[in-house]
Amino acid sequence: MKFVHIADMHFDTPFENLNLKNNFGKIRRLDQREIFKKIIKYISENKIEYFFISGDFYENEFIRKSTIEYINELFKEIPQTKIFITPGNHDPYLKNSMYYNLEWNDNVKIFTSKIEKVETPEADIYGVGFEDFYCSNLNIENIKIENKNKINILITHGALNASNKLQLQYNPLNENKLKQLGFDYIALGHIHKPDYNREENQRIVYPGSTIAMGFDELGKHGFITGNIEKEKIEINFIPIDDKEFVEIELDITNLNDADELIEKLNNLELETNKFYKIILIGKRKFEIITSNILNLLNNKNIIKIKDKTTLQFNIEELANDYTLKGIFVKEIIEELKKENYTEEQLNKILEIGLSALENK
């Protein structure tokens, strides 16, 4: 049986952390639609029998009815494909949710927090999803496969091998216990980084977020496609998001002012299909207000600037200066000498204080 597996599409997310210039959030929401359309086309052209959507398909707080209608129209283009959706922590099956209140296409099955099995000619599909934004236990590890002679699939959303307090709130799953259940494929969602070839013949799979959500999700994003037979599985990762987030460090030690920095940034040779975060490093000689610099750039592919520079200063010169900065440096040095601070610690304290004075 041939299948496509996606997760963490997050339709209609506002992209708040990235919406800094040029309506970037709106552009990425349009990208979500275009990418999903490509996935549907792939399913249609390759006669894919099963489509697994493992949670966080949309953002419950922001999803629009028009977006769901758009999705449903696309589902009508693959009427022979059986579509299974398991709600996650961002799109739980609530009574005011789109899952509960809208009429979905005939080929769509949406799971709830009650473990269900759907029998098909090729496989038995087990599914369970969130009915709230938090979920500590969906009782998955107690599932008993009824017919082990068939292909058995599990679809759910959760945190595999969760160890911290935060992830334990999102359906924590134990990998070893999942393996013991005997499923031929477990389609997971929640973790935005793909996990499909960590071990030979891997059957517990995260496809990662379908579209990159920000600079904490570097690298390629897409979906899993595969073919399962009893005792045999073939899976591949298909990149589908043709835009990528990239981080670049830029040393500004030799730059003299903000205008020179802006010119340097505008002259960077960047790829048009990538979004860049520029991390400024080195010793700065001038005040940096990243929002101002970002707004003045002609280079549209730079959408975020992070300042990790340190202030360039001469302690001896400043200590002999009669300005406010000079008085500050002299007083701090006298105080810190009493506490036996290292030179590195002294420089860090002076850096923080001088930066505060610089921004006054």
Beta-bridged to residue 186, according to DSSP, are 154, 204
CA-to-CA separations, 149 to 116, 124, 180, 183, in angstroms, rounded: 19, 10, 16, 11
Dist. CA 320–CA 248, nearest whole Å:
38
Q: Do 345 and 214 share a domain, yes or no? A: no
84: tokens are 């299974």
What average pLDDT score do residues 4-30 get? 85
Final residue in a domain of this structure, among 216, 239, 262: 239
Q: Residue 216 half-sphere exposure, CB side, CA atoms within 13 Å?
A: 6
Q: Do 178 and 283 share a domain, yes or no? A: no
Which range of residues forms the domain containing residue 251?
244-311
What average pLDDT score do residues 302-312 get? 87
pLDDT bracket for residue 251 (50, 70, 90):
very high
Final residue in a domain of this structure, among 189, 217, 239: 239
Look at the block and give the residue holding tokens 């979004």.
275
What average pLDDT score do residues 116-144 get? 94
Q: Do 199 and 322 share a domain, yes or no? A: no
- Is the pLDDT at 355 greater than 60? The verdict is yes
- Is the pLDDT at 125 greater than 90? The verdict is yes
Q: Do 49 and 130 share a domain, yes or no? A: yes
Q: Do 206 and 253 share a domain, yes or no? A: no
Dist. CA 350–CA 315, nearest whole Å:
9
Final residue in a domain of this structure, among 222, 239, 256: 239
So what's the pLDDT on residue 359?
Answer: 60
Q: Residue 290 in contact with residue 307, Cβ under 8 Å?
A: yes
Q: Do 101 and 62 share a domain, yes or no? A: yes
Dist. CA 197–CA 200, nearest whole Å:
7
Q: Do 253 and 299 share a domain, yes or no? A: yes
Count of domains for the chain: 3
Q: Do 303 and 323 share a domain, yes or no? A: no
What average pLDDT score do residues 22-29 get? 84
What average pLDDT score do residues 122-140 get? 94
- Is the pLDDT at 321 greater than 80? The verdict is no
pLDDT bracket for residue 92 (50, 70, 90):
very high
So what's the pLDDT on residue 315?
Answer: 67
Q: Do 75 and 195 share a domain, yes or no? A: yes
CATH code (residue 232):
3.60.21.10
- Higher-confidence residue of 162 and 251: namely 251
Q: Do 255 and 219 share a domain, yes or no? A: no
Q: Do 65 and 178 share a domain, yes or no? A: yes
- Could you tell me which residues come within 8 angstroms of residue 269 by beta carbon, excluding any fewer than 6 positions away? none
- Is the pLDDT at 170 greater than 90? The verdict is yes
Q: Do 22 and 111 share a domain, yes or no? A: yes
pLDDT bracket for residue 211 (50, 70, 90):
very high
